């Protein structure tokens, strides 16, 4: 089966991907348009009226231990990137969502195509970034697909399976 959502052969993408705007521009045939070709589904909640939480992924900026002068330059660069004006340019170029709350009201993020994604962040939770984060997330998404899309596994069994596999990834 075709694995690329942007080939227009897959009807649902069960995760939010980073840099979605550049990927949409490179979709098969012609660029995908949010609101026409692509939409955002509400995050499921156990009961009607419950808060709908989502994860807000990404990679933290890191300063590697080297020599004090290089570490200081790295710190200055991170501070530069996190200034509102510079961060906005960075986010626009890469198609990322705002990580600085002062930017969420910027007109760029108020665009109707981006606004549903920004609004979903109101209950976004930043996951702890660890080496196995991607492997754990992929494990959970794989089980999610088996339950929600393929209906091949009962939800309770899927939770147990995902938890066991995730613990295995964390132990490596």
Provide the pairing of β-strand 124-125 with 54-55. parallel
Q: Which of helix, strand or coil describes residue 103? A: helix
% the chain with pLDDT above 70: 87
Distance CA 138, CA 130 (A): 14
Label residue 73 by pLDDT band (50, 70, 90): very high
**Residues 123-139, buried b or exposed e (16+ Cβ, 10 A)?**
ebeeeeeeeebebbbeb
Q: Provide the residue ranges of all domains of the chain, joining segments of one domain with +.
A: 5-128, 130-172
Instruction: Give the Å distances, CA to CA, from 43 to 12, 51, 74, 122.
Output: 13, 9, 37, 12
Residue with the bigger pLDDT between 95 and 12: it is: 95
Distance CA 83, CA 89 (A): 10
pTM score, two decimals? 0.58
% the chain with pLDDT above 90: 20
pLDDT, tens digit, for every residue of 80-100?
999 999 999 988 888 788 878
Cβ-based burial of 99 (10 A; exposed 0-12, middle 13-18, buried ≥19): middle
Distance CA 168, CA 79 (A): 36
């Amino acid at each position: 089966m075709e694995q690329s959502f942007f080939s227009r052969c897959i009807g649902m993408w069960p995760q939010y991907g980073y840099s979605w705007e550049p990927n949409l521009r490179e979709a098969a045939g012609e660029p995908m348009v949010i609101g026409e070709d692509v939409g955002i589904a509400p995050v499921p909640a156990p009961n009607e009226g419950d808060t709908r939480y989502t994860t807000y992924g990404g990679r933290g900026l890191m300063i590697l231990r080297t020599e004090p002068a290089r570490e200081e330059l790295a710190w200055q660069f991170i501070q530069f990137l996190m200034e509102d004006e510079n961060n906005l340019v960075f986010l626009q170029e890469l198609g990322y969502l705002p990580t600085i709350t002062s930017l969420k009201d910027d007109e760029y993020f108020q665009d109707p195509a981006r606004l549903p994604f920004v609004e979903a962040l109101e209950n976004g939770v930043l996951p702890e970034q660890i080496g196995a984060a991607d492997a754990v997330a992929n494990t959970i998404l794989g089980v999610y697909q088996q339950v929600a899309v393929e209906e091949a596994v009962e939800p309770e069994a899927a939770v147990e399976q995902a938890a066991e596999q995730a613990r295995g990834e964390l132990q490596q």
